[in-house]
Amino acid sequence: EVQLVESGGNSVQPGGSLRLSCVASGFTFSSHSMNWVRQAPGKGLEWVAYIRSESSYIYYADSVRGRFTISRDNDKNTLYLQMNGLRDEDTAMYYCARDTYGEPTGYYDLWGRGTLVTVSS
């Protein structure tokens, strides 16, 4: 089955760190660019980060640049998001999403179910 499964979400205090993972199956993970997209409770979608298939290009939203790091291990079919310096406003459901182009276009044909990150003291 073609799917993405996220994990690693948890409750953490402000200033803390978390690492999210997204395991891909049923397709050639190494051929696809990948993204993290988040959604705060009751709010809209927000693009977080993009990584090209061979990690040659990486881009971030201004809101997370310098605090979050996207990476991937194509041998393990896994996408990661290292989140440091977490803030209250980072509280959200985090989705991994498969891209179709070699650029971050917003065209995501496959999404995971998400993993919840809660930042609170």
Partner 1 sequence: QSALTQPASVSGSPGQSITISCTGTSSDIGTYNLVSWYQQHPGKAPKLLIFEVNKRPSGVSNRFSGSKSGNTASLRISGLQAEDEGDYYCASYGGTSVVLFGGGTTLTVL
Q: Which residues are at the interface with partner 1 (CB under 8 A)?
A: 35, 37, 44-47, 50, 57, 59, 61-62, 95, 100, 103-109, 111-114
Residue 28 tokens, joined: 């050639």
Q: Report in angstroms how near the CB of residue 26 gets to partner 1 at its nearest.
A: 16
Please identify, using beta-carbon distances, which residue of 73 and 109 lies nearer to partner 1.
109
Please identify, using beta-carbon distances, which residue of 35 and 78 lies nearer to partner 1.
35
Which of 72, 74, 80, 95 lies closest to 28 in space, CA to CA? 74
Which of 1, 9, 43 lies closest to 26 in space, CA to CA? 1
Please identify, using beta-carbon distances, which residue of 16 and 69 lies nearer to partner 1.
69
What one-character-per-residue DSSP string does 54-116 give?
A: TS--EEE-TTTTTTEEEEEETTTTEEEEEE-S--GGG-EEEEEEEESSSS--S-EEEE---EE
Q: Report in angstroms how near the CB of residue 13 gets to partner 1 at its nearest.
A: 26
Please identify, using beta-carbon distances, which residue of 44 and 66 lies nearer to partner 1.
44
